[in-house]
Chains A and B, each alone.
Chain A
Amino acid sequence: MSRPKKIVLIGHFGVGKTSLIRRFVENTFTKDYKVTIGVHISKKEIHIKGDTPLTLVIWDLEGLDDITKMRTSYLLGTNGFIYVFDLSRPVTYENLEAELEYLKTNYPNTPTKVVGNKMDLVNKAFIEENNGIFTPFVDYYVSAKLGSRVETLFTKLAEALI
């Protein structure tokens, strides 16, 4: 079995990073918002590409409105990033391009998936209207509440790590 892979979730506060992890690890969801401070770490073993087992160690970082202010020690040994924004709050994706550029520059070989969460709060027309903002960057539109595409998100990132 290969060594565990460290995945770090980053993004503004309130975008649903903790909810995505909870949906993936425990398959649960609560609408109550509890602010994450520092970092919470959880672990899940999955099977990818047929039946290859892989342990994911998932770091749920405190949300920040500026990615450059992240504590660098949290990012030591990171194998993959999930950048999360909230589709229903423009403030969480208005600097999307610059933030992703920062990640690419500072962590050039680290696979990254970009996800718009809270898909349940918007409709397809909204996505189409904002096509220019989202399409160049977004890998998945997900909903932690409904569980849609959450499993796919983690699995596809895991596949990119081996």
Chain B
Amino acid sequence: MLEFYKASQNEKFQYIIVDNTGTIKESDNGIFSIDNHKRLQEVHPFFEIFTELLVIPNETYEFSCINLNFETQNLVVDISVKTQDNSSIVIIENLTKHYNNYQLAAQGRNESIINSQIIELKNEYLLEKEKFKNNFIANFSHELRNPLTASLIFGNLLSESALNAEQKGYLNIIKSANSDLKQKIEDILDIAKIESGKLALNTSVFSLKAMLQDIVTQHKTLATNKQLEFVSNFDTKLPEFAEGDAYRIKQIFDSLLANAIDFTNSGRISLHVSLNYTRAQKANLQVKVIDTGCGIAPKHHDTIFERFMKIEPDAQSHNGSGLGLAIVKYLITEMGGTIRLDSSLNEGSTFTCNFNVKISSYNSSLKHELLDKQTPERSEKQHILLLEDSELMQLTLLKILAATGQFYVSIISKGEDLISNIIDKDVDLILSSNTIQGFSIADLTTAIRSLPREYKKTPVIALSTEAYKQDIKRFKKAGVTDVIIKPFDEQTLLERINKALK
């Protein structure tokens, strides 16, 4: 038994005697056959190294895991060499099975490590790409906001001047184009916010009934302009006051109704709002926007809520960025709701959505907020210090403020002049761009808030091209009283100024 075992082990070894040039004197050919008198260097390139090793006597060398590939067999062996004066012994141990198992384990391990490195790199690349895109969008919208604000406001001012019918027609086209452009910029920015997880809902108390009335007034006018009938129907059980993100809720209505009007050339637009149920102080609203427009083929129903999705061949002729419905779906989902489309080609469309708002009892703070929107009558003119380095914006703001007859306006265009102007002049309010040649409104406001008592409480309104929530939070933290995002209209500006002056 023992002899048998020893004999089987012999097959694992090969003993070779060579002279100091590498010529084979004797081999037991235990693993592979080699001819005597041949040089070992000719057997396999591994042995080329022996030319140098064999001439140094009385040394021992160990080589592990050597792959010896021959025509008929591939071996993985350990090799040890003991050199003497004229001859050396080479012992080869066949460990092919052992090393092949090790190779399999190493294969799995290395592949898994490389794959995870590649995934990590792809992830980093995607994050970089996302960051670049968001920065691009933020910068792009920043650059557009000043000229667009000027265009919107001067368009409105021009419409109040004496124009003939033809001029009024041209002006309406300009105003409509401005309004579209503003909406598209907002849509792109909203999508960027959604993708970067920065779009958060801001909850406040608002009058649901007043909002619905505003929506009807606005869209009825637009529908009538296209000779469309506009029908609205509101459930009497709807709460009068609700708590939610009023701006975003109105955005949902505006987007669905604007689409309906845009894609309908004749017939009727209907808006139905009903109360599904109330539970735990939450009201679940159901909104239906029905049109008699061109309709949407069922094959497009699944993709209609995707970004940049326009399904009509001539969709370019319609307004909208193709982002509106994607934003609507996101907002509704964030409000714990759903949206559904029922439509067939040439048979109109019905968008049905449900979402939650909190039910709010009448709130005194709301009353104040509503009153804030009314322009107060003041006996004295108020002094506004305008800090703005864009000449276009200076002119725009001056025009609006001067037209009210309620304000004196001083204009400065350098941040370093701000503090001296506050101290020298009796300033009631500071209106400032968010960045002024190397200064940030946050830094400037921090400086104002550290002035002596008679100056430090001067209200500061930032006119901002930075529209992300964290930007607004940063300004507020520095002591900025209010932030108006560009582009804005004159009504918004005046309302917010009056509120800050109260």
Chain A interface (Cβ < 8 Å from any Cβ of B): 3-4, 6, 13-14, 33-35, 37-43, 57, 62-63, 71, 73-74, 76-77, 88-91
Contact = CB atoms under 8 A, between A and B. Distances in A.
Contact of A89 (B49, B63, B106, B117): B117
Across the A-B interface, give the 8 residue pairs with the lowest CB-CB distance, nearest first.
Answer: A38-B65, A43-B45, A35-B107, A40-B67, A41-B45, A41-B46, A35-B106, A57-B48
Given A38-B99, A40-B69, A89-B117, A76 B45 contact: no
Interface string B92-135: 00000001001100110011011001100100000000000000
Given A35-B103, A73-B62, A89 B67 contact: no
Nearest to B45: A43
Interface of B: 44-46, 48-49, 51-53, 61-67, 69, 76, 99, 102-103, 106-107, 110-111, 113-114, 117-118, 121
A76 B103 contact: no
Name the residue in A38, A40, A73 with the highest tally of chain B Cβ atoms < 10 Å from its Cβ.
Answer: A38
B49 A76 contact: yes
A62 B118 CA distance: 21
Contacts of B76: 37-38
A43 B66 CA distance: 15
A38 B117 CA distance: 24
B114 A89 contact: yes
Nearest to A34: B107
A3 to B, nearest CB: 7
Contacts of A4: 48
A89 B64 contact: no
Contacts of B117: 89, 91
A74 B63 contact: yes
B218 to A, nearest CB: 49
Contacts of B46: 41
Contacts of B65: 37-39, 62
B106 A6 contact: no
Contacts of B121: 88-90
Given A14-B114, A38-B99, A57-B45, A76 B67 contact: no
A14 B111 CA distance: 8
Contacts of B45: 41-43, 57
B48 A13 contact: no
Given A34-B107, A38-B67, A71-B64, 10 more contacts: A13-B110, A13-B114, A33-B111, A35-B111, A38-B66, A38-B76, A40-B67, A57-B48, A57-B49, A89-B117
Contact of B118 (A13, A39, A57, A89): A89
A37 B98 CA distance: 12
Contacts of B67: 37-41
Given A34-B107, A43-B48, A73 B114 contact: no
Contacts of A40: 67, 69
B52 A77 contact: yes
25 contacts: A4-B48, A13-B114, A33-B110, A33-B114, A34-B107, A35-B106, A35-B107, A37-B106, A38-B76, A39-B66, A40-B69, A41-B45, A41-B46, A41-B67, A43-B45, A43-B48, A71-B64, A73-B63, A73-B64, A74-B63, A76-B52, A77-B52, A89-B114, A89-B118, A91-B117
B44 A41 contact: yes
Contacts of A57: 45, 48-49
Name the residue in B64, B111, B114 with the highest tally of chain A Cβ atoms < 10 Å from its Cβ.
Answer: B114
A126 to B, nearest CB: 11
A4 B76 CA distance: 23
Contacts of A90: 121
B102 to A, nearest CB: 6
A4 B51 CA distance: 10
Contact of B102 (A33, A37, A43): A37
A155 B13 CA distance: 38
B94 to A, nearest CB: 13
A89 B62 CA distance: 34
B52 to A, nearest CB: 5
A73 B61 contact: yes
A158 B36 CA distance: 33
A76 B114 contact: no
A24 B311 CA distance: 54
Contacts of A3: 51
Contacts of A37: 65, 67, 76, 99, 102-103, 106
A133 to B, nearest CB: 15
Nearest to A6: B49
B99 A76 contact: no
Contacts of B111: 33, 35
Nearest to A65: B113
